Chain A
């Protein structure tokens, strides 16, 4: 692929923004992860791998695995709920579609904290959910401040981010492909499996990574819905910075997390470019 020789002027703004807001802070974090600190939390400028060695401790590995597992599960749940929703929205016409799309976008316009407190009031001990249980004589369910609470919060909060890319890849699909498949003898299920799914799997994968990656670093949701017991990677990281005053260790966690995310992005990129080789080539010619 050819790279453009001259960077357009508008791209400079983005480049400067990227350097100032992303590359620079990230370098600082990376640098800090190799430093040490005094017991009072002052930074000692001496190179050390101690922070990373500390992370090899089973406690941290367990937190990492737990976080990966929870984020993975929440992503799968988002897919299971989000896919039919996206499919329905792409197929339906008329007022139902407009209403559906508005409902889909309302969460994007609603304050994040507000949405989380919505969950709190829904599942709290006196919340709607428990009132409902009580009214049918069922025992109280403690969802808030458990892992299930974090899980529900993650699914609830990230669902729209998965529905949108799947919906848009379904919308982009030529509607005649469905007719062509059916015309050539495919049942509805065969059409879905052999034509629709292969053509949108990239959108599904990208959407899944779009929710999985930020879920890993999530801090607010586990903090507000998980309570003190639930150790989540993002939460542990923030605690290192602001409660335990161990900036170097916090930085090491942040670095590990970033490397994981970059690895996932690289894999995804490689996977899609392998599947879409000709298209990238074509794009290269267009540029």
Chain B
């Protein structure tokens, strides 16, 4: 265990971070995910040393660093706007932390070169910071954070200032670079796709509270909270009541909802009577005609469709609610194309549904 937060709280005007206990393993890529104002950046600043917790302890490598100033922590940060030093060249920016450590100049030169090579900007080394693009500035900031070989690198929304196309590309490269250097990374982001793609584990935050910590798959497939479920991807929700007890052999329970009766699988959570059933759009099948199936079926009308090449996104109106369904374009020449206004059936399996307590 490299980093351990122990019941850390922080309060300032209009914000409170609820007691947070969190551990990050050595070599792990860990993300703090949540909407703006959820406290994820505060957590990063507490780890970086830019803020001091109101209570609790921050432990890095078995050493209590709660009150250590930033310059004494072996933690480097890639800032959202990069914060490159405008009076220095790219190479001088990268050399900055090494000069502070008073390393011999031959070693500095070598390590700077190595870092620039890692992020593939060797040819930019003599440029001033205002002569490079956003993506290049991003790489420079990353090289500067990595060159001192810190124990932990903090990434504060590092890709948010890039345009979407470049963001995708940098995401891939960030992943490659992180794997190569083997340093522990802690990413703060509001972009759930970014978190899913890069992280070994994710902590989801909402209004100063950590709701769930888990692998991307756990967070997506088994969210502990309706907020987490909604934040991490598109959802359809069916509110309803659980009817009776779970069947002892199959673990099946019955949901009674305004849209009908559905069969569900009981999972680990202890459930209240009133629940919210969450269905991911890709977990539902669109049937062109009613079929005899063991799955749950709902009849509706296509309200809207968006053709995206690899898949089509349908909006299906069932009763008062609209359901999102993603259908893979498996066949090149589909027998029957669907149009707005067509009657269709949605089929889904009980064990693909996420059953959660209704959020207030």
Within 8 A of B (CB), among A223-244: none
Q: Name the A residues within 8 Å of B70 (CB-CB).
A: 179, 182-183
Give the residue name and chain of the B residue nearest to A180 (CB): B83
- Take A199-B87, A278-B128 as given contacts and tell me if A180 and B79 are in contact as well, using a CB distance cutoff of 8 Å: yes
Q: Is A186 in contact with chain B by the CB < 8 A criterion? A: yes
Query: Is the CB–CB distance between A183 and B85 below 8 Å?
Result: no
Q: Number of residues in A with C-beta < 8 Å to the partner?
A: 20
Query: Is the CB–CB distance between A185 and B131 below 8 Å?
Result: no
Give the residue name and chain of the A residue nearest to B99 (CB): A194
Q: Mark B58-78, 1 if CB is under 8 A from A, else 0.
A: 000000000001110001110
Q: Name the B residues within 8 Å of A182 (CB-CB).
A: 49-50, 69-71
- Take A182-B69, A185-B100, A185-B101 as given contacts and tell me if A279 and B76 are in contact as well, using a CB distance cutoff of 8 Å: no
Q: Mark B158-193, 1 if CB is under 8 A from A, else 0.
A: 000000000000000000000000000000000000
Give the residue name and chain of the A residue nearest to B74 (CB): A185
Q: Name the B residues within 8 Å of A198 (CB-CB).
A: 85, 87
Query: Is the CB–CB distance between A179 and B130 below 8 Å?
Result: no
CA distance A184 to B76 in the complex (A): 6
Q: Is A121 in contact with chain B by the CB < 8 A criterion? A: no
Give the residue name and chain of the A residue nearest to B86 (CB): A199
CA distance A176 to B96 in the complex (A): 15
Query: Is the CB–CB distance between A183 and B148 below 8 Å?
Result: no
Q: Number of residues in B with C-beta < 8 Å to the partner?
A: 26
28 chain-A/chain-B pairs, Cβ below 8 angstroms: A174-B81, A176-B81, A176-B83, A179-B48, A179-B70, A179-B77, A179-B83, A180-B84, A182-B49, A182-B69, A182-B70, A183-B50, A183-B70, A183-B75, A184-B76, A184-B97, A184-B145, A185-B71, A185-B100, A186-B100, A195-B87, A198-B87, A199-B85, A199-B86, A278-B128, A278-B130, A279-B130, A282-B131
Query: Is the CB–CB distance between B83 and A186 below 8 Å?
Result: no
Query: Is the CB–CB distance between B131 and A278 below 8 Å?
Result: yes
Within 8 A of B (CB), among A148-195: 174, 176-177, 179-187, 190, 194-195
Q: Name the B residues within 8 Å of A174 (CB-CB).
A: 81, 83
What distance in Å separates the Cβ of B247 from its nearest Cβ neighbour in chain A?
57
Give the residue name and chain of the B residue nearest to A179 (CB): B50
Q: Name the B residues within 8 Å of A199 (CB-CB).
A: 85-87
Q: Name the A residues within 8 Å of B79 (CB-CB).
A: 176, 179-180
CA distance A282 to B128 in the complex (A): 12
Q: Which 8 A-B pairs have the closest CB atoms?
A: A180-B83, A176-B83, A184-B97, A198-B87, A182-B70, A185-B100, A183-B77, A182-B71
Q: Is B144 in contact with chain A by the CB < 8 A criterion? A: yes
Query: Is the CB–CB distance between B87 and A185 below 8 Å?
Result: no
Query: Is the CB–CB distance between B48 and A180 below 8 Å?
Result: no
Q: Name the B residues within 8 Å of A190 (CB-CB).
A: 71, 100
Give the residue name and chain of the B residue nearest to A184 (CB): B97
Q: Name the A residues within 8 Å of B97 (CB-CB).
A: 184-185
